[in-house]
Amino acid sequence: MSVLDAAKAKSSSTAGRSGKLFLLDLSGGRVLSMESDGSNRTVIATDCRYPDGVAVDSAAGHVYWTNMGVPAQNDGSIERADLDGKNRMFIVPPGGTFTPKQLHLDKPNGKLYWGDREGMRVMRANLDGSQIETLVEAGRGDVERRDQTRWCVGVTIDPVRQQIYWTQKGPTKGNKGRLFRAGIEIPRGETAVNRSDVELLLDHLPEPIDLELDLGRRTLYWTDRGDPPRGNTVNRVRIDTEIQAPEIVVKHLMEGIGIALDLWRDRMFVTDFAGSLYSARLDGSEERTILAAQGNLTGIAYADI
């Protein structure tokens, strides 16, 4: 089945189902769920240690999220709970990852992927937290950790081409951010440190953060926290042609962080650190603010429940 055929099949299967948003309030240490219009807000979990990335497995009834912990300490973790907050547990205990950021669910293959910022890594594990692997290692040790160009933040995968995409954000508003791509699997005989298939797709970005991929249109989206005019934006680029300058589709964010795509309804949802939740069509039109002044919002996920 082609990607477009799969999209049509999913669109049919989700007809009549309710689209839910799951987002993270870093300042309050909470995981929240709500309708796509911001109504019926529910607190799923509290006392999270600086939550940043979130992913939803609607079929299994699970929500996963990353806890950054204290960035200077190696105490990051990943938790899982039922969609109503019950049966909460650590699947990657504190210290199993340094500072986990965006989280991506690959349900068909039973994997979770995440960027590990101060760990300077792209990582993955099974859905129960077993078999933790480092796929990319951009640096090691305290000296290299101070180089923010090595910090891995956003992550997504292309299951069709078997590739992984990630951002290395660079210094705050430093215009040294970069976007990379490599195979999902490390080439035989190589390691996460010396793998030869890493491609630098874009550099000199203001401060790229989270990623989302529209497989049907072969288009990559990301948020950028950097200074205007190129920063505080949502950007997109086609990935199956020669990589061009990014197209800015949403502007005037206040420290953009999370992004989630609802491809079947041609819309995106975006959070920023000033506490706003926005929606827009995938081309950036019809932008509107759903919520404002909600603390410091980080990761966001969309799911048909």
| pLDDT > 90? residue 161 | yes
| pLDDT > 60? residue 14 | no
Residue 205 has phi, psi (to 5 degrees) of: -85, 150
Residues 137, 195: Cα–Cα separation, whole Å: 9
Place of tokens 């819309």: 267
| Type of residue at 183 | G
| pLDDT > 70? residue 8 | no
State which H helix or E strand residue 94 sits in.
strand 89-97
pLDDT, tens digit, for every residue of 42-78? 999 999 999 999 999 999 999 999 999 999 899 999 9
pLDDT, tens digit, for every residue of 77-89? 999 999 999 999 9
What's the pTM? Answer: 0.94
281: three-class secondary structure by DSSP: coil
Assign 241 a pLDDT band (cuts: 50, 70, 90): confident
Where do the domains of the chain lie, and which CATH numbers do they carry? Answer: 3-216+289-304 (2.120.10.30)
pLDDT at res. 267: 98
Residues 38, 290: Cα–Cα separation, whole Å: 6
